[in-house]
Structures are given as structure tokens and as C-alpha cells.
Structure 1
Amino acid sequence: MTTQLPDVHGPSLAAHLTHALFGDRFAQLHAPWRKLFSTGEFRLRDGLPHDERAALSYERLRLLNEAVADPAGLVRDVERLSALHEWVGAVDPGLGTVASIHYNLFLGSLLDHDGDRRDLREFTSLSRTGTFLCTEADHGNSASQLETTAAYDPDSRTFLLHTPSPAAAKFMPNTSSTGGPKTAVVAARLLVGGRDEGVFLFLTTLHDGTGQPMPGIEIRRLPQTATAPVDHCVTSFDRVRLPYEAMLQADHGRLLPDGTFTSSVGNRRKRFLASVGRVATGKLCMSGYSLGVTRHAVTVAVRHAHHRHTTGATAGTTVPLFGYRSHHTPLVDALATTYAATLLQRTAVQRWAEAVRPEADGAARDDAERLVAVVKGWITWQARAVMTECRERCGAQGLFLANGIAAQLAANEGTITAEGDNLVIWTKAAGEMLLGHFTPRPPSGVPAAERQLADPDFLQDLLAGVERVWHQRARTRLRSGKAGGPLGRWNRTVTPAL
């Protein structure tokens, strides 16, 4: 850092570090959220039971929405959306969850599918809250195999949305009437003339104006989780009739009123991935959320270490906890990790923002989506490790909800699972990297004996060398040709691939 920053001290150095973390757009991207969440309406309300905390998150969602001049513009701006998630988790994990679902998964899906042809005012005004129903009781990360169907009848120009078995019930979305009436986008298998055209999204009203489920919709509350206080439910549909306009259409799948189906994508799995494309942005939202609560935990733990005094090395003296290397070393390591995570998040957000532009090619989007998946896994896992360390370094003080570590640590488990379980999305990325979507960096031509371990470029080259070793081992195992079939070959490959 000393070779890159001026020789300055105090606020000037802090300003340089702030710029390194937040870039030139702090005032536009981050300052509004910091100001909003610093107001009294978002302070911790101690002692609330689970249901009241869940209801409070929806009240705060409306306050948040009132502060957003253009909700649709927020949804379209990946950098602003990610920044929101960096600040919301520290004040209300439940709010972070329902805001992510409403803005990114629900509104984002509508806007990505001919959204300019729909009247979205009841959703942008939050007279109705949006939710997203994709995973099923028996289909989580294997969501492309989900069983919910939407059969089209060209004579009546309607769909019949149906849950064929308990295994196909939509699992865990926030579909209760807590927070007011809700509307969902529901992932279902489109059936036209008995032919399966793949999975698409269907706009479905869940509640009437009084908050009662619409006819044919069954909503059952799930047991309370240890993560963010949200109204998780199981939701089923018994031949619920939807209008023709309910189907969210785009180039990957269009249905004419007479039942003619066209698609620019021939593969049904790719149609599914296009339909739920907002999940990729959701990964950035999850890593942004974890990043924000991690920075908060480090801040609290470091301040505590400077303010809390303990017995010194000589009789009758006291020193701050931070004076002991055994205490400050893990905190400095946590601080370094959190800086790295912040810079990695900035890189991933920028890459994704560039990849989703209309002029970007498909290969760039695939590469960016793979990076987003890897970043989501790394940051959310590092968040768990860093927050655990920070909680312990604060002792009993770290257990109080008011200090913003213990509850956020539990809520972070949700980010590890949401938008794709970390291990699963890393395994998918590892497989793609082995199949030609990654080329290791070639060795440096400078002999190792002529280099110094204090040189960051040399350290990077060493890490690249380790990467080449694991990449080669994985490819060798994948191509070994031993008996066992595809699953056996993959099981031999997956450890070095990861």
C-alpha cells in the first residue's frame, strides 16, 4: 500500500482507503443507503417475537421504497442494487431478504420479460409485495427438473397452474399475508397441446385485497428458521386459472394466443436458465449482503478491542485488548480479508454490469456469470469465518443483538444457501472451467531464485502455479478412462476441481 498511496496520515489516508473500497460513486451508490438506515425507524427494536419482527421488515420495506424515486431504475442498476444489499443487512436481515426478493427476483423478472408492456405501479408503489416461487420441496438446486405445470388452453386463452404432487409444492418463499397482499412470479413447466416446452415464469396473484389466499391456492407456514425473520411458507396450486397475459415472455420463449410457441433457444434447460436469469444478479445481492455485515462485524470488533482494557504485562497496569498480539492478529487478518472481499465484489459487479448490456456477447455473459457464482461462494463463506472470529473477540458483548454480529452471523447462513447452495454452484463452475472455459496463467520466465517473497507479483505467480497443478490434476482424473461411468469419473475429479 505504501508504494501506491501518498505519504499522508489521518483523514487523508482514510480518504484514500475509502476511495479504494468505494470508488468515485460513493455519494451516488452508498451514501443514500447509509443515511437512510441511520434513521430512527431502522434502529433495533429489542424483544420482538418472530412474527412481529417479520411484519416490521415489511413496514421498513415500504419506508425504503418511499426513499427510492424510481424503483424500476434501481432494479435495472446492478451497482445500486448491490450497494443497497451492502447496507441493509446490518440493520435488519429480514428487510434484506424481502427487499432482495421484491426488487431483484420479482420486479427484475417482470422488467426482463417485456416489462415495458405491463402496468407495474401496484408493485413499484408496494400496494402489493412481490415474491418469487421457483424451488420445490423435492427440487432445490435441481430446479430445472421442477414439476409444477402451466397447461395452456388456446380456446379460453388461459393457463391452468397446478401442483401435481406434494413434492412439487413451492418451498420456502414468503407467501403469507404478513406485510399485506402479495403477487408472485411462479416457475412452472409450460404445456402446450400436451407438449413440454420448458420452464417459464407466470404472474400469479396470491391474495385478494383482504389478504386471503385466492381460490385454489394453499399456503402453509413453515417452522421458524434460525436465520432472518421471514414468513417462509409452502405453497401449492390446485388448477388455478391464469389469463394469457400471466406468462412472462421474451425471445427465449413466446406463445401466441392460438398456442403457437416459438423460441430462440432450442434447449429446454437453457430456456429455464433464461427465465430465472435474475438469480445471477441475486448472487451478487447475496455476496453484497454478506460483505456489508462482515464490514460491520469487523468495525465493532476492532473498536471494542481498542476500548476494552484488560490486565497489562506488569502489575497494576492495563492495556487495550488490541495491545495483545493474540487478540489483534486475528482481527487484522479479518480486516485484510474484508478489504479483499470488498474489492472482489466491486470487480464482480462491474463485470456483470458490462455483461448484461445489450451489446455484450454470450461468452462474456457466461464468463461473468461464472465469476459471480465463485465470488458469491467465497464472500459468503468468508463472512461466516470473519464474523465468527469477530463475535468471539467481543466476548459476551458479541452475543447481544444490539451489537449486530450474532443475529447477522445466523442470517448469513441464508446467503450461503440462497440463489444456489455455495458448494453446488462452485461445483458447476469447476466443471465448466475444466471443459474449456478456463486457461491457467502460464509460468513466469523469471527463475524463482532471482525473486523475493516480499514481491507481490512473485506471490501471485506462486498462486498461479498452485492453480496450474490442481487444474492439471483435475483434467488428468477426468480423462483417466477408468471404469465407473460418468459419475465415477466426476467423483474422482471433483476434489482437485474445487
Structure 2
Amino acid sequence: MSAALPSHLAAALFGHRFTDLHEPWRPLFATLAGYERLERIGTFLCTELGYGNNAAQLETTAVRDRHGFILHTPGTAAAKFMPNTSPAGGPKTGIVAARLLVEGADEGVMLFLSHHAPLLEALATAYAATLLHRTALARWEHALTTPGADREEAEIHAALTKAWTTWQVRQILIECRERCGAQGLVPVNGLADYLATIEGPITAEGDNLPILVKAAAHLIMGHTGESPTAQPPDTSPADPDFLQHALRRGEDLHRQRARVALRAPAAGTLSRWNHATGPALRLAEATAARMAAQSLLETARATPDAQATDLLLTLHRLLALRLLAPCTGDLLAAGHRLRGRPFRSRHVRPGLRA
């Protein structure tokens, strides 16, 4: 996510004092004082691999959405290739030269201040995937060593974990590679190799899609998983229990749709199942995602260090909001409400910033 930046403000980051800015802009950049104290580093990202500094030919685009601007690299030639974006000197904030697109119209090249929200979301997902994997291992060990334990449930948990974590790792690697620009393609940096390597676990020991289909059948027919009717004690969307409750509600909507599709008239059993496969897979993905968020939440609450707990709860909130975003419309349509108002993820997202 990025913010549009007038040229005189960009200049302030690279050679002028913030006190020289016009009065209306000073509050907006109060948090950038670290640059003036030489505690943070900014870099100007204009050069593209295929066009150098020829601004007329730059291909990087910026498209407005509700929360700012989405910066996009449409091809290899548009990758920013700057010598001062290496790890030397620590993290940096970029002023990105990009072509502004408004309703499809090219408004020319402008400057944008880049943030790291996608990487923060990737970090939250990485923590959740790691903790979900640990939970699955512990559950499987319990099923193997404890008489009377439900091994089938452990198998389904392992299948959901394997599919969700490996697919999420692939997306994390893609995000990291793209954020590194052309440097992410250089073999010595390792990211390109990791992208090839993750395809093995996605396919090995059971291709993700077939094992997810099998798990989905169990979730529809062999496991009720109904949500409790009562709201959590605190119905504020800042409450992690509320977010988990909302994730479970979204999961239940997919279960209901899959069951309706499975009962629809069809030529035979196979045809009926094929009709239900789409919503069933969405149910399996939602279940795995909710379990991952739950593992992150449980770890946050079990952590003795207060600062670590606070950081983990923030990551849980960020993850839950990302997972809820696609089903917010479904929750609204189903009548799920927040203190008399329809649930919307925007009630909490503005408080989470890179």
C-alpha cells in the first residue's frame, strides 16, 4: 500500500527539513521525523530495468483503492533496479516513480511513498502457518500415542494443515520476491530457488487439491462444526475472540452452501458431488485458515512476555482481517451484525498500519 506524494514533499525526504513544509502537510509527516534525525533511510526509486530513468517510458503503475494506492510491476522490464536498495544500511522507505491510472486513464508519472503492509501480512501468515504446523504435529502425536484418541480427526487436521501452509508459503515467497524487485530474481539471493522448491511439498505426499477435497467431504458430512449461537463476551472487532467468531461464521456459511449443493437434484452420486466441490473446497480452506488464526491466538495468550503477547495479538488481528475480507459481503448478507450495525472489516483495519 502506498500514498501519493507531491514532489516538494518527496524533496523534503531527500535534502530539506520537515519544518520547511507548508503548514497543512506537517501533521501528515510528523511520523517521518526519524529521517530528519538520520535514524531512517529513504531511497528514490525511478530506474527500471528496461527503461533506466526515462520517465516517459516507465511502466510501474499506481491504482487508487479505498486505502491508498496499489503499486504494480506489470513485467520484468518495469522492475525497479536501484543500487541503493540492497540490505546494506538496513531497511529503507522508497519514493516510487509510477504511472498513475485513474479509471483506466493514464495521468502521467508521479511519486508515491511506499509502505510495507503486504510484508506485514506475509509475516502474520508465516507465524500462523508455523504455529498451525506445530499444532498439527502435536495432535498427530497425541492420536498415535493415546488409546482411544480420534485418529481420523487428526488425519483431517493434518491434511488441512499441509494444503494451507504450503499454499501460503508459496504466496509469501511470491510477495517477498516481488518486493525485492530484480534483486529477488538473482539466484545468489535464494528467493527464486525457494519458489521452485516449495512446489515439491505442494505436490509430494499427496497433491494438495485431492487431499483437500477428501478433507472437505469429511467437513460436510462427518463433522458438524456449528458455531455457537451466542456472541463472544466482547463484540468489539478489536477483540480477537470476536474475530475468531466471525471467521467461524464465514466457515459455517460455506458449509451450509456445500450441503445445499450436495442435496441438489443430480444424475447420480458423482454428479451431485461434483456440483458441491466448489463450495466444499472453500469450506476446507476457510476451516484451515480459521485453525491457523486460532493457533496464533492461543500462542499469543500463552506467551509470558507482555510485549511479545501484544505483538502476536496484533499479527492475529492483521491475519484475521485479511482472512475475513473476502467473506465480509457474505456475512453482511447473512445478517451478522456488530452492536446493531452490520459487520465490516473497515471497523478495525484503519488502526493497523505498516
TM-score, structure 1 length as denominator? 0.34
Higher gyration radius (CA)? 1
- The structure in which a higher percent of residues are helix is 2
TM-score normalized with structure 2 length: 0.47
